Amino acid sequence: MSYVDGFVAAVPTANKAKYIRHASDAAAVFKEYGALKIVECWGDDVPDGEITSFPMAVKCRPDETVIFSWLVWPSREVRDQAMPRLMEDPRLKPDVNPMPFDGKRLIYGGFEVVVDE
């Protein structure tokens, strides 16, 4: 069964083009290491919550937009084998492909797919 890595972050709205370029460049590298699909979404209707929400989770500021993305892998095993190599790939190093957002507020996790309709 496939495996999914999910991400939520706050990106300065002024950095939208930089973010898209960063994500596109990184997506090509992830695919080389076995990712089947990379989806990057720019927040369009992401309301603030009263108890919790995407904006609250990433401490989104008024001049930022929430992004939501995920990578689909064939399996957790493929993902686990790829990750150490991805972290060492020079194309993903900050001096080559800098993150156009505060990585300290990035939320991420790996998920086993349980329903895929």
Mean pLDDT of 7-34: 97
Q: Which amino acid is at 68?
A: F
- What are the beta bridge partners of residue 73? 3
What sign does the CA torsion over 82, 85, 91, 95 have?
A: positive
CA 86 from centre of chain: 14
Report the C-alpha gap between 68 and 25 in whole angstroms: 17
Q: How far is CA 27 from CA 55, 56, 82, 83, in A?
A: 24, 27, 13, 13
Report the C-alpha gap between 41 and 78 in whole angstroms: 24
Q: What CATH topology corresponds to 3-112?
A: Alpha-Beta Plaits (3.30.70)
The answer on pLDDT for 89 being more than 90 is: yes
pLDDT at 96: 85
Please, what is the angle between helix 76-88 and helix 16-32, to 10°? 120
| Strands 3-12 vs 64-73: parallel, antiparallel or unpaired | antiparallel
- Which tens digits make up the pLDDT trace of 49-82? 999 999 999 999 999 999 999 999 999 999 999 9
Report the C-alpha gap between 29 and 5 in whole angstroms: 15
